[in-house]
Structure 1
Amino acid sequence: MDCDKCGREAVMHAAYSGLHLCEDHFVASVDKRVRRRIREDDLVPSDATPENPQTWVVGLSGGKDSIVLTDILHRTFEKDPRIELVALTIHEGIEGYRDESVEACVELTDELDIRHELVTYEEEFDVRMDDVVEKDPEGMAACAYCGVFRRDLLSKYAEKYDADKLLTGHNLDDEAETALMNFLEGDVAQIAKHFDASLGSFEERESPGDSDASGGPRARGEQDDFVPRAKPLRDVPEKEVALYAHLEDLPAHITECPHASEAYRGEIQELLHGLEENHPGTRHSIMAGYEELAALAAEEFGAREEGDTDLGECDRCGASTTRNICRKCSLLDSIHAV
């Protein structure tokens, strides 16, 4: 099949758009979508200058998503003195698996000459995920422990490095799965939180024909307790991210974590794959509608008014939490008690 743009041999067919694209036009299309998302979410504020640059911490795991995101961000802002990138890698203590992905992170950041920081569960928490899985004091899936620890370290080190934003490599499939899970669970408050945490733009924007910004797309609510997050890769399907990494010969470590066991999300993945195969564009439609609903939910339930979110500090570690002892410290107590 030939590329619809230039007639060269196509390397992919996007069923949701009907387009056949050659290698060059496919890579360009992914770059374009990521850069458009950066513009639409207003990631680069108007007051960013070479004298007052933005620091963006990128969660770099070594997997395809974070590797592709880091590569695109570097090429986009390499010559822009308003943006400084810091790659943050977290080693959970999973024998073999994470060691190889860390090597991919080091290879990429050395090649791109990006500042790279590595932190470990063992140094931070005196635990390794291999041991946590074996002990399992709470009777939970490994991902439940790991997610809490990972989020804590991402937030902690984003603050430590004075980050203006924390960027993660969530792709379209990831976000559509989360959207569907939140909806099926009927968790309106979580939908609102999702919007304010990572979906909404950073500034109000005018809609075409509007005389002021009040009629334009809603911006996320301010959350002063955390470094704000963004997901520039969230318009790109997972398979296209993998193809991009392959075509660009990026050092991605494409292997599933041996402890991955999110059963419910796995069911949602299978459901979405079937829907997308039979009805191309389903993921895009889910996110288009979900983002509008999430904005409305955030208007009603989100952290938009001062005092709406009653956050304090963990008595143990000082992290922001609604409890006396944060979830991370509570889990660590259970693990060390075994």
Structure 2
Amino acid sequence: MNCTKCDRDAVVHAAYSGAHLCEHHLRASVEKRVRRRIRQDGLIGDDATPESPETWLIGLSGGKDSVVLTSILEETFAEDPRIELVALTIHEGIEGYRDESLDAASELADGLDIHHEVVSYTDEFDLEMDDVVEKDPEGMAACAYCGVFRRDLLADYAESFGADKLLTGHNLDDEAQTALMNFFEGDVAQMAKHFDASLGPFDERTETDEFVPRAKPLRDVPEKEVALYAHLADLPVHMAECPHSTEAYRGEIQDLLLDMEERHPGTRHSIMAGYEELAKLAASAYGAKDSDLGECERCGNATTREVCRTCQLTEAVHAV
């Protein structure tokens, strides 16, 4: 099958648009959508100048999504003195997994000449995820612990670097899954947390990242296209799944969405379009109020509790 836009061989069929795309036009399409999202969400502040540039902190795990995002951002802003990119990799302490993804992240950052910081759960919390999974003091899935720890570190380091934006590599599939999970669970308050009028519905606000806006420039690109982009661009990527990944419910939602997308192309995009409107309504009714925030009596981070969730979990792990 030839590419819809030229006479080259197509490498992908985007059923939701009907387009067959060759390598060149697939890569151009992904890059165009990322840059369009940056414009639509107004990520470049009006005050950003060569004399006073913005700092964007990228969560660079070494997986396909964060690697593709980092590569496109570097290419986009390499000659733009208004934006400075910093990459942060978090080592959770998962034997035989994170070391390889760290290698991929380091190779990419070195090749792009981006400042790259590495932090670990060991240094920050005096624990490793392998130990957390074994002890499991709260009876939760591994992802529940890890999600809290990762958000905390991303927020802390975004603040310490004076970052103006915190960027993560969530793709269209990730966001549609989250939207559907929140809807099925009737979690209106969580929908509200995903909306910010300046950055769109997925500027996720949590206890600890209240003051550094989050953005997800890949959220319009399907996971399959992100993976293919990484392959075609020959980017250093660690493709293995985390051995502790046990989000069974999200897996069911993923399977449901893939099946619906195959039978009804465009389902993911439709979900996101509707979810944006729901998120706006939810934010008007349930939006977080800064006055509700206090300081964690242990670490001083912003929280609605006396002791933030990160401190609660780390203390529970160490108590076992």
Under a length normalisation based on structure 1, what TM-score does the superposition of the two structures give? 0.91
User: Mapping of 1:1-338 within 5 angstroms?
Assistant: 1-196=1-196, 200-202=197-199, 225-303=210-288, 307=289, 309-338=291-320
The superposition leaves residues 5-39 of structure 1 with CA deviations (integer Å, 9 ceiling, x where unpaired) of 01111111001001001100110000000000000
State the 1:225 CA deviation.
3.6
Runs of 4+ aligned structure 1 residues displaced above 2 Å come to: 217-226
Equivalent pair of 1:94/1:128 in contact (CA under 8 Å): yes
The superposition leaves residues 241-292 of structure 1 with CA deviations (integer Å, 9 ceiling, x where unpaired) of 0000000000010110000001111111111011001000000000011111
The superposition leaves residues 181-221 of structure 1 with CA deviations (integer Å, 9 ceiling, x where unpaired) of 1111111111011113xxx434xxxxxxxxxxxxxx99979
Query: How far apart in 2 are the matches of 1:31 and 1:281?
Result: 20
Q: Which amino acid aligns with 1:104?
A: A
State the 1:298 CA deviation.
1.1
Question: In percent, how many aligned pairs have the same letter?
Answer: 74
Equivalent pair of 1:221/1:302 in contact (CA under 8 Å): no
Deviates more, 1:325-334 or 1:34-43: 325-334
Q: What's the Cα RMSD here?
A: 1.8
State the 1:309 CA deviation.
4.7
Under a length normalisation based on structure 2, what TM-score does the superposition of the two structures give? 0.96
Query: How far apart in 2 are the matches of 1:273 and 1:225?
Result: 33
2:84 counterpart SS class: strand
Equivalent pair of 2:204/2:214 in contact (CA under 8 Å): no
Equivalent pair of 1:40/1:201 in contact (CA under 8 Å): no
Q: Which amino acid aligns with 1:292?
A: E
Q: Which runs of 5+ in 2 are unaligned?
A: none
State the 1:299 CA deviation.
1.9
Query: How far apart in 2 are the matches of 1:54 and 1:335?
Result: 38
Query: How far apart in 2 are the matches of 1:180 and 1:272?
Result: 9
Relative to 1, partners in 2 of residues 1:218 and 1:239: Cα closer, same or farther, differing over 3 Å?
Answer: closer
The superposition leaves residues 47-70 of structure 1 with CA deviations (integer Å, 9 ceiling, x where unpaired) of 210111100000000000000000
Q: Which runs of 5+ in 1 are unaligned?
A: 203-216
Q: Which amino acid aligns with 2:239?
A: I
State the 1:93 CA deviation.
0.1
Equivalent pair of 2:194/2:204 in contact (CA under 8 Å): no
